[in-house]
């Protein structure tokens, strides 16, 4: 499954609120609340221990982004990483048989 599709399923894809020439804010909504909530909590914990995600969070913080936006971005990035690991595991399993 593509990264766009999986983030949309989990409700971590930014949804545009645009109309005509007006560019509104992007909001994260929809999708499945359970996985989104779990990823939201796990992302906060993983950001303390994973050096790559910690650096990503610090870059966003230095850019002046709000804390909630940083946590949502971390949750989305974590979901994309997990999706890639699942994809690679399926490929290895298919090659083993």
Residue 83 clears pLDDT 70, i.e. is over it: yes
pTM value surpassing 0.85:
no
- Which sign does the torsion angle of CA 43, 47, 48, 50 carry? positive
- Of 97, 95, 93, 56, residue with least CA distance to 78: 56
Tens-digit pLDDT profile for residues 6-62:
777 777 777 766 677 877 676 676 777 788 888 888 988 988 899 999 999 999 999
Distances from the Cα of 25 to the Cαs of 16, 18, 35, 50, 83, in angstroms? 6, 8, 24, 30, 27
């Amino acid at each position: 499954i593509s990264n766009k599709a999986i983030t949309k399923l989990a409700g971590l894809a930014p949804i545009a609120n645009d109309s005509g020439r007006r560019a509104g804010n992007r909001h994260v909504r929809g999708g499945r609340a359970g996985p989104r909530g779990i990823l939201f909590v796990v992302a906060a914990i993983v950001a303390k221990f994973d050096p790559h995600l910690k650096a990503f969070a610090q870059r966003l913080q230095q850019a002046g982004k709000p804390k909630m936006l940083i946590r949502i971005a971390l949750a989305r990035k974590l979901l994309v990483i997990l999706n890639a690991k699942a994809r690679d595991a399926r490929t290895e399993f298919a090659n083993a048989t």
